[in-house]
Amino acid sequence: MNHPVAIVGAGVSGLICGVVFAERGYRATIFAKEIAQQTTSGAAAALWFPYDVEPAGKVIPWALETFRVLVDLAHDFESGVSMIELRQFSRSQEIQIPDWAIPLAACRLSAVATAEPARRGGCRRAGGSQGKRLDTARRLQHFISGFVLNVPLMDTTIYLDYLAMRFLKAGGEINANVCFEQLEEIDQQFDLVINCAGIGARELVHDFDLEPHRGQVAIVPKIKDVSYAVVCDDAPLMYAIPRRNDCVFGGTNDLSDDFAADPATTARIVAECSRSLKIDKPNVLAERVGLRPYRKSGVRLERAHLVDGRTVVHSYGHGGSGFTLSWGCAREVVDLARL
């Protein structure tokens, strides 16, 4: 085919759009200010779970499509994708299992021992020995309700490089340190432009519907006996996500543009995660900050035209779910580009 396409952005959205176009025979070139690990995507915990994104009617189908791709990728060790047991808790109220989670075999955790999946007909119980489960129940007993399901986890330290390599292998080209003030600056040889600029779209296309939902995490060493992810969305937001070589402790979600890590916030995150897991406070290996590109009117995934008449497909505003929606959105971007 050899149709040239320019993709702005090398976070998870831009890289996956790049892979999908390049593997379908397009001559795909990525242009980006920052690449992979340096982007917001590089700061993410990167668990599959719809969170802090609108509108639900579109988000859930994109998320479920992405889920299926990620389940396949989890068979490839090199991808950095694996399946993990997610234990989603509440400290304050009876948690509802979302409708979309029921076909994925989500299972309520009992209120007494919140880490113990309730034994109900048709509910597939998460793995682990009885001894381990009781240990977990003791650890997490201050949560009042929860549910469990198996979801894909993308270890960003591996996955983003895997995507970049897969894109390059398919014939793609990456140009780093390129910052556009407007999309019309892109070379005229590209008559198709894909905008995956994340929060950068605020300035790039003057979209002031975008809000930076700042997230800070602490990277700590692997924690003995914690092989499942623990998430509690009640304030204070708390999650502990074990990866292949370390563990991500989170988190925060504040309206802010501040990229600097705040040491007091890191201390608060580590204290809350350690309290929840009933472990001694671990050393902090690194702190990361990213700006979730939340868009008040919902993800912008649409075909439009630049001032000079060229076709552009926008795909940004994925909020706290860029990884969760990525393959579903990229497939729709390609469909829109081919109209």
Ligand X SMILES: Cc1cc2nc3c(=O)[nH]c(=O)nc-3n(C[C@H](O)[C@H](O)[C@H](O)COP(=O)(O)OP(=O)(O)OC[C@H]3O[C@@H](n4cnc5c(N)ncnc54)[C@H](O)[C@@H]3O)c2cc1C
Applying CB under 6 A, which residues contact ligand X? 8-14, 31-34, 39-41, 43-47, 178-180, 196-200, 204, 215, 217, 250-251, 290, 292-293, 316, 318-324
Nearer to ligand X, 146 or 215 (CB): 215
Q: Specify the amino acid at residue 131.
A: G
Q: How far is the CB of 120 from ligand X (least distance, A)?
A: 28
Nearer to ligand X, 134 or 267 (CB): 267
Q: How far is the CB of 131 from ligand X (least distance, A)?
A: 29
Nearer to ligand X, 112 or 255 (CB): 255
Q: In whole angstroms, what separates CA 141 from the centre of its chain?
A: 28
Nearer to ligand X, 116 or 186 (CB): 186
Q: How far is the CB of 61 from ligand X (least distance, A)?
A: 15
* Residue listed under structure tokens 């509108």: 55
Q: How far is the CB of 237 from ligand X (least distance, A)?
A: 10
Other CB atoms within a 10 A radius of the CB of residue 325 amount to 30
Q: Is 122 exposed, middle or buried (0-12, 13-18, 19+ CB in 10 A)?
A: exposed
3-state secondary structure of 267: helix
Nearer to ligand X, 277 or 289 (CB): 289
Nearest alpha carbon to residue 230 among 122, 131, 87, 103: 87
Q: How far is the CB of 220 from ligand X (least distance, A)?
A: 14
For 143, what's the count of Cα atoms within 13 Å in the CB-facing half-sphere? 37
Nearer to ligand X, 116 or 293 (CB): 293
Nearer to ligand X, 17 or 126 (CB): 17
Q: How far is the CB of 42 from ligand X (least distance, A)?
A: 7
Nearer to ligand X, 219 or 337 (CB): 219
Helix extents (H) in the chain: 12-23, 40-43, 56-73, 130-139, 156-169, 201-204, 263-277, 322-337
3-state secondary structure of 70: helix
3-state secondary structure of 49: coil
Nearer to ligand X, 116 or 172 (CB): 172
Nearest alpha carbon to residue 213 among 319, 111, 105, 102: 319
Q: Specify the amino acid at residue 184.
A: E
Alpha-carbon gap, residue 130 to 193, rounded angstroms:
54
Q: In whole angstroms, what separates CA 186 from the centre of its chain?
A: 28
Other CB atoms within a 10 A radius of the CB of residue 278 amount to 13
Q: Specify the amino acid at residue 83.
A: M
> Does residue 313 contact residue 302 with C-beta atoms inside 8 Å?
yes
